[in-house]
Amino acid sequence: DQQVKQNSPSLSVQEGRISILNCDYTNSMFDYFLWYKKYPAEGPTFLISISSIKDKNEDGRFTVFLNKSAKHLSLHIVPSQPGDSAVYFCAASSSSTDKLIFGTGTRLQVFP
């Protein structure tokens, strides 16, 4: 049972435009949602998170939106840069544990 889903395995965006990565979840008990970025041969790097009591969190070029009624979150990157090219993982957890449930990832490619 895949509790966190990223239905788009890949996304290609032109430099300077907006990248929108999507994530759906099924478990309403999740309290936190996180986005990680992963380059080849490196571990995942934390990008941004959002608590279930909020609907938006912003950090520089990165903004995460949470729609609890739809059990959907998205990561917006504006403007996109070539260095953003990586695999992006959505993850969810409850407040009582560090256990993260990850999606399968979306490969973002930003081209000039």
Q: Which one of 19, 24, 25, 36 is in contact with other proteins (CB under 8 A)?
A: 36
Q: Which is nearer to other proteins, 2 or 14 (CB)?
A: 2
Residues 88/67/26/89 CA torsion (nearest 10 deg)? 10
Report whether 73 contacts 50 (CB < 8 A).
yes
96 binds other proteins (CB under 8 A): yes
Q: Is 44 in the site for other proteins (CB under 8 A)?
A: yes
Question: In angstroms, how far is the first alpha carbon of the chain from the final one?
Answer: 38
Spatial distance between the Cα atoms of 62 and 75, rounded to a whole number of angstroms: 7
Q: Which of 34, 75, 77, 86 binds other proteins (CB under 8 A)?
A: 34
Q: Does 42 bind other proteins (CB under 8 A)?
A: yes
Contact 110, 81 (CB under 8 A): yes
Give the residues lining the site for other proteins (CB under 8 A).
4, 31-34, 36, 41-46, 49-51, 89, 91, 93, 95-105
